[in-house]
Amino acid sequence: METSGQGPDRTVSTTEGFQALVRSEFTPRTTYLNSASTGLLPARAVRAMHEATLSVAQGSPDDMFADVEAARAAFARLVGVAADRVAAGASVAVYSGLVAASLPAGAEVLTAEGDFSSTVNPFHVRGDLKIRTVPLERVAESVRPGTALVAVSAAQSADGRVVDLPALRAAVRAHGARLYLDASQATGWLDLAEHMPDVDYLSSVAFKWLTCPRGVAFFVVPEDREGFERVPPLFAGWVAGEHPWDSCYGPVTELAHSARRFDESPSLFAYAGARHSLALIEELGVAAIGAHDLALADRFRAGLAALGHEPVAAPGSPIVSVPGLGARQPELSAAGIEVSDRAGNLRAAFHLYNTDADVDRLLEGLRNS
């Protein structure tokens, strides 16, 4: 394996090094093309979780709160923000709820049709917000004077379509709106750092493209003080205190001065693994992962055309959704090819541990079934 080392400042330097590192961490027994549902765990994360579990079983628990802080810092580096803007939790829906609670009654929220429920439903259940829903392709052009917030997924769960982030950034700037981005289907393959200056709030689960255990999610808060203080710390517990171990009893007298005031009490075993999963993503590099994933998706699209199938148009996405083929999912799974069925569409998601051979096996399965 040829790398320039390990850690946030040292990434894999060659294609051969990338492939060798991936092979050392992932050993799937199936043709796994379902990262949009759940990413595979790298060996280093599995080992760390096993060791953490043993430490508790043996009565000498590891300091897994240190793992939370390491994971927070790694995620911050991946999206290009300061670590003090990142809250550590477990659920996008919880953080969507906080953003919804930050809005005054009657505020207009712009959303995309068919977006993921955890992204948009908390705004609907408020009952006193004005929700406008438009096709994804029209989100940027639909921002208008009086729009308080745009809430949208960076990449759509159902079919992989990617929102036009440059156009959306320009629109929210032009109209003074705030932007809430659910990046759950984007972090890990899409470089978001260049867009973050115009993103006020960002949430992301980490068990998909970031290859972390389920139970890990992150929330980025606004950099400006007004935006930060507008978010109510509704579920603040002891971990949200500026001095957590002094905040265990009674009301928390001093909330954290950073995004840590929005931390959920962490699932520590999950974070014990997440620290190492995120380190792997940093070693491989988001740009290299994205190029790898998109090349595989384009190979699959070309193969589909040869078979006479037309996927949902989602250029620049590693998620490929094929109308009418969702019913093939059970037989493909029985053959050891894991994809998903979403609203009648076959959804294949190509990630860092996939290969050309995986693409070709799926195409062969579709040809023969």
CATH number for region 64-283: 3.40.640.10
CB neighbour list of residue 118: distance below 8 Å, 6 or more residues apart = 91, 92, 93, 96, 182
pLDDT mean across residues, the chain: 95
Indicate the class that CATH gives domain 15-41+285-368: alpha beta
Residues forming CATH 3.90.1150.10 domain(s) in the chain: 15-41+285-368
- List, for residues 315-350, the tens digit of each pLDDT value: 999 999 999 999 999 999 999 999 999 988 999 999
- List, for residues 232-244, the tens digit of each pLDDT value: 999 999 999 999 9
CB neighbour list of residue 58: distance below 8 Å, 6 or more residues apart = none
Query: Crossing angle of helices 43-57/64-79, nearest 10°?
Result: 160
Scan for tokens 């972090």, then name that residue: 187
pTM of the model: 0.95
Residue 5 has pLDDT above 50, yes or no: no
Q: Which of 152, 162, 150, 156 is nearest to 182 (CA)?
A: 152
Query: What pLDDT is stored for residue 369 in this prediction?
Result: 60
Residue 13 has pLDDT above 90, yes or no: no
Query: What pLDDT is stored for residue 10 in this prediction?
Result: 66
Rounded Cα distance, 73 and 86, in Å: 8
Q: Which pair of tokens denotes residue 72?
A: 């927070």
- List, for residues 172-182, the tens digit of each pLDDT value: 999 999 999 99
- List, for residues 244-295, the tens digit of each pLDDT value: 999 999 999 999 999 999 999 999 999 999 999 999 999 999 999 999 999 9
Alpha-carbon torsion angle 66, 67, 68, 74, nearest 10: 110
Query: What pLDDT is stored for residue 368 in this prediction?
Result: 82
- List, for residues 79-128, the tens digit of each pLDDT value: 999 999 999 999 999 999 999 999 999 999 999 999 999 999 999 999 99
Residues forming CATH 3.40.640.10 domain(s) in the chain: 64-283
- List, for residues 170-214, the tens digit of each pLDDT value: 999 999 999 999 999 999 999 999 999 999 999 999 999 999 999
Query: What pLDDT is stored for residue 308 in this prediction?
Result: 96
